Amino acid sequence: MNLLSFFKRPRRRDLTPAAQGAHMTWASRTFSTSISRTREFLSRRLWAWPIIAFTLLLALGWLVHGAIERTMNENLRTQLQTLLDVEVAMLRNWMHSQERNLESMAGDATLRRLAAELLDASRHEGDETRAAAENAAEAIADELGPAMHTHSYDTYFIANRDLKVIAATYPEAIGMTAPAERRSDFARALDGLASVTAPFASQLPLVDEDGVRRTGVPVMYAVAPIRDENLQVVAVLGMQIRPQDEFTRILQLGRLGETGETYAFDADGLLLSGSRFDEELILLGLLEDHPNSHSILKLRVRDPGGNMVAGYRPKVRRSEMEPTRMVESAAAGETAVDVAGYADYRGVQVVGAWTWLKDYGMGVAVEVDYAEAFRPLMILKRTFWGLLILLALSSIAIFVFTVMVARLQRQAREAAIEAKQLGQYKLEEKLGAGAMGVVYKGRHAMLARPTAIKMLNADDLTDTAIARFEREVQITSNLNHPNTVAIYDYGRTPEGVFYYAMEFLDGIDLQELVEKYGPQSAGRVIYILRQICGSLYEAHSNGLVHRDVKPANIMLNRRGGEGDVVKVLDFGLVKARDDQHPGAGGMAGTPLYMSPEAIQAPNSVDACSDIYAVGAVGYFLLTGQPVFEAHSFADLCQMHASEPPKPPSLRLGRQVPEDLENAILACLEKSRSKRPQTARELAQRLSRCADANAWTLDDADAWWGRHERGQSAPAAAKPLSSSNPYAATIDH
């Protein structure tokens, strides 16, 4: 028996790339079919559930994590911005209070008179004017003393319009001018505006926290204009403020958690207020190691390039480091909030908000360590990943166990086949194998009848394959036409091997017939086609469309003492008119023999589609060549859809019976309405051909008698290549 070509349905990898691409183009699946297959898949493969749960949990965790992170970001952004606004408001209120104090003191009538006397004395020389200036200075000190004590001012000075000191708490300050870097702050008083300077290092020796007089002590000054009787600004009054007191205290009120701090800085990143991490900065070597070491005016806010708290040590000096991103932004006049994280002056990742106070020439920043700000999110993330890892390990364990069980089951199936026993059937020789199954010749244990037994491949034992296998058996077993292959039995062994038994055919398929013996005579072609029509008419009468009529699926046999008995095989792709089984709506068939509608609208195939394929088979039998040949799947489909076939007589270069040629070309019409409408109508038309009786039973017996004795193919035969990729069945 030559059933190899019958069951040899090449796998999809046997198709050319072009065929695969076109196949995917038309191989659509409905949503309901996908849902049905998914449900069936999950019901049989329990190992998939942990994997699905893992995937869903991962996706859910990712979404929840993202939602929580966005919420925390917004809340943190709001907190930082609110705290910054409060701190800036408190700082401005304090500075405005200092400005009002100075305005009140500078507007005192006695101070204005004494300042006028002092200014007048400073313009003249001589002992009398010097004595007058000293008396005026003493009177000014007495006048300002109570107010300075009330507002905790340390020292005072009065400067003329050249910002040259003409009176001060410390006599050595007389004659000095305002520091160049703060001259603009003092000059505002000459414009009639009171102001407060940012902290800076004193040029004059002052008493520090240790009671030692030295230069470089951090100071601030509140300044206000002194006016004459004409309300013209004639001098500037300034009061020294200790920034370590109110200024730093206000900023240190703005702290979030254990690592949060608020500080002020200038355009170069120099700290203008104390850091809460002074002790830590001493240990890191960023501040001098002595009891009263402070970061104010000592540390620049620069990015060290790594986390110094975690042990990183910079490779360059601090003066060569770049300012932190916060300082760069603030110095550019920007107000911003950053919750993504950036490095602070310790190299620690922080989140923060900042603004630039243009009228005071300094910036204010609120920061907190990133790790503390997002600690709840980190705890949630660790918990989630811990659960996810446990689920992943469980999924892997279940998957491995399932694979082991599946392997044992497959080994059991293979062992059953190797034992040559399949239920009540004794297996003999292997006849062939295809994409879907393997075929053996066997015998029933009791009947001893030769039987062809088809089994599913152990590697292809999927729900879809089993369903299609069962469906092929059920449909074929309900057809009883003598030209349709007969099904004897169907079953499943205890090892899980699915099989069915059918009549054993020891003939030759039409593909091999033409390849070995060349084009067939007109009479024999008619004889064969009429039998094919008989088988298909029964299927069509039952509402079934074969969809894969081709030479390889039609066997020619010697049965019951008669030769050339046709058997139509492989009803695996059959489609009912109201078919809803998985895959029914996709493209299916063999490209060389597919009708135009099977290519363009697979859902619309009907009996006329099979008749097109019968015409293509007849064309092949008559000419030894398929109707169309192309280099690509797309070109082949285009030919079937629009190009008229070349008449067989032109293809052969010799005369072909006109009535047979017309019958075959009628089957190959592009429009279904122009084809024979039923297989019986086509059979009747063939029976009316002049050569309908040219091939007789005697001719068939004689042919089979010669070839059963092993006679070789005629020399004129021109075998076709069996490697044509478009002769392969596609099913999608």
| Residues labelled catalytic | 548
Phi first, then psi: give them for residue 94, nearest 5 degrees: -65, -45
Q: How far apart are CA 178 and CA 163, in angstroms?
A: 6
How far apart are the C-alpha atoms of 183 and 199, rounded to whole Å? 13
The C-alpha R_g of the chain, in whole angstroms, comes to 50
**Are 54 and 392 contacting, i.e. CB atoms less than 8 angstroms apart?**
yes
Contacts of 638 (CB under 8 A, 6+ apart): 630
Residues written for the chain: 732
Burial profile 675-694: b = 16 or more Cβ within 10 angstroms, e = fewer: bbebbbebbebbeebebbeb
* Letter string b/e over residues 347-365, b meaning 16 or more CB atoms within 10 A of that residue's CB: bbbbbbbbbbbeebbbbbb
Strands 425-433 and 421-422: antiparallel
CA proximity to 139, closest of 159, 161, 162, 116:
116
Q: Which residues, at least 6 apart from 17, have a Cβ–Cβ distance to it below 8 Å?
A: none
Strand order in the sheet with 508-509: 508-509, 554-559, 562-568
Q: How far apart are CA 440 and CA 424, in angstroms?
A: 14
Q: Phi and psi (nearest 5°) for 373?
A: -60, -35
Question: Could you tell me if 588 and 574 are in contact, meaning their C-beta atoms sit under 8 angstroms apart?
Answer: no
Question: Cα dihedral angle (72, 73, 74, 80), rounded to 10 degrees?
Answer: 100
**Which token pair is 694?**
């040219």
**Cβ 564 vs Cβ 527: under 8 Å:** yes
b/e code 601-613 from CB counts within 10 Å (16+ = b): ebeebbbbbbbbb
Task: Yes or no: say if 243 and 273 are a contact pair by the CB < 8 Å rule.
Answer: yes
Query: How far is 547 from 114, CA to CA, in rounded Å?
Result: 117
Decide: 157 and 173 in contact? Cβ < 8 Å: yes
Query: Distance between CA atoms of 240 and 144, rounded to whole angstroms?
Result: 13
535: helix, strand or coil: helix
CA-CA-CA-CA dihedral for 128, 134, 139, 144, to nearest 10:
150
Query: Residue 167: exposed, middle, or buried by beta-carbon count in 10 A (0-12, 13-18, 19+)?
Result: buried
- The Cα 451–Cα 443 span in angstroms is 6
